Amino acid sequence: MLGKFDIAVIGCGVAGLTAVQHALLGGHSVAHVIGVVPMGGLVCNIGELHGYPSGAEPISGLDLAIGILSSNSTGGATEIPADATSVTREGDSFRISHSDGELHAKQIIAATGARLRMLDVPGAKELEGRGVSQCGWCDGPLYKDKHAVVVGGGDAALEEALHLAQFAANITLVARGDNLSARQSYVDRIRNHASIDIRMQCDVLEITGADGVSSIRVRDRQKGAAEEIACSGVFVFVGLQPNSEMFAEHVQLDTNGGIFTNDSMQTTTPGLFAVGAIRSGYGGRLVHAVGEAATAVMAAAQRCQR
């Protein structure tokens, strides 16, 4: 068992890494439960981050995460490369059990992020890894001169479509809504891209194929007709599922599993904070994750002084 820390951060996405960074700058003892899966969270699926930091040249999500982790390591964080398994309230502090033991902390910042949702239609799970993907930056070159479909209308979907368009002969973007919800710069680029066709107000019914994807069936809600679109790959970006299960008994959750917090990022349990994609109301962009992490650390630091 490790000693008692001022602040324990659970999760190794950008929100968690930033929380550790700010806690160290404040002079606090920090335990960082990193986990055993590749660190960096969903941002590591992005090959180029534009506009962060402001004015900087594009950087990959992985390089950004590695840079912050390296800084935290030299700054004195106690890093625990194990998965947290449970959180227990003990008086005015917490016990965190993990796969290699346990530790105690006065405050916890939950930053376990979220996982990409998969389509709940026939063929989606069955063909995952065989034409159904959630990482265009990983699999894009496999679709050179082929037709790919991207499902979704947010930032992630449009960013992946733009990246895939560097390889695929053409892209069909399928979205359920009547408007794209991504940032305007992405929307403008998508609408002006010669090889990207946009299909709004469409529901995905099925993904078909034997050894790999051969087509996707969609229904146009305006016309009411189903249609089969031949393609070699389907890239799914239809939202996130917060990784909040471990904290459920200590917090209030919204219908999507996001954790409710106040403006200081504190949950209904004093001393337990939530930041990033695990939080209800999270804005979805990197700058939001960074801002929430800094806000939570400032509030946790005030509690440490009591």
Q: What span, in angstroms and rounded, lies between the C-alpha atoms of 58 and 52?
A: 8
What integer pLDDT is reported at residue 304 of this predicted model? 74
Task: For residues 265-269, give the mean pLDDT.
Answer: 97
* 29 CB neighbour count, 10 Å cutoff: 18
What integer pLDDT is reported at residue 204 of this predicted model? 97
CATH 3.50.50.60 placement within the chain: 4-115+240-304, 118-236
Tokens linked to 92: 């005015």
Return the closest-CA partner of residue 69 out of 98, 106, 109, 30. 30
Return the closest-CA partner of residue 273 out of 291, 296, 295. 296
Contact status, residue 38 vs residue 13, Cβ threshold 8 Å: no
Q: What span, in angstroms and rounded, lies between the C-alpha atoms of 240 and 134?
A: 12
Q: What span, in angstroms and rounded, lies between the C-alpha atoms of 15 and 244?
A: 15
Task: For residues 3-14, give the mean pLDDT.
Answer: 90
Tokens linked to 119: 């389509």
Q: What is the pLDDT of residues 98-144, one digit of tens each?
A: 988 999 999 999 999 988 899 999 999 999 999 999 988 889 999 99
Q: 100: which residues sit within 8 A by CB, 6+ positions away?
A: 80, 82
Q: What span, in angstroms and rounded, lies between the C-alpha atoms of 291 and 263?
A: 12
Distance, CA of 266 to chain centre = 20
Find tokens 């009547």 and name the residue. Answer: 178
Q: What is the DSSP string of the chain?
A: ---EEEEEEE--BHHHHHHHHHHHHTT--EEEE--SSPTBGGGGG-S-B-SSSTTPPPB-HHHHHHHHHHHHHHHT-EEE-S-EEEEEEETTEEEEEETTEEEEEEEEEE---EEE----STTTTTTBTTTEES-HHHHGGGGTTSEEEEE--SHHHHHHHHHHTTTSSEEEEE-SSSS--S-HHHHHHHHT-TTEEEE-SEEEEEEE-SSS--EEEEEETTT--EEEEE-SEEEE---EEE--GGGGGGS-B-TTSPBP--TTSB-SSTTEEE-GGGBTT---SHHHHHHHHHHHHHHHHHHHT-
What integer pLDDT is reported at residue 42 of this predicted model? 63
* 204 CB neighbour count, 10 Å cutoff: 22
Task: For residues 3-13, give the mean pLDDT.
Answer: 90
* Residues facing 108 on adjacent strands: 8, 272
What integer pLDDT is reported at residue 51 of this predicted model? 58
Contact status, residue 110 vs residue 12, Cβ threshold 8 Å: no
Q: Identify residue 216 by its one-letter amino acid code.
A: I
What integer pLDDT is reported at residue 305 of this predicted model? 73
pLDDT grade for 202, boundaries at 50, 70 and 90: very high
Distance, CA of 29 to chain centre = 27
Mean pLDDT of the chain: 89
Q: Identify residue 189 by its one-letter amino acid code.
A: R
Q: What span, in angstroms and rounded, lies between the C-alpha atoms of 232 and 235?
A: 10
Q: What span, in angstroms and rounded, lies between the C-alpha atoms of 236 and 192?
A: 22
Domain 118-236 has CATH 3.50.50.60: yes
Topology of domain 4-115+240-304 in CATH is FAD/NAD(P)-binding domain (3.50.50)
More confident residue, 254 or 1: 254
Q: What is the pLDDT of residues 13-70, one digit of tens each?
A: 889 999 999 999 999 999 999 886 655 566 656 666 665 555 566 666 666 767 777 7
Rama region for 99: left / alpha / beta (φ>0; ψ in -120 to 50; rest): alpha
Task: For residues 274-290, give the mean pLDDT.
Answer: 90
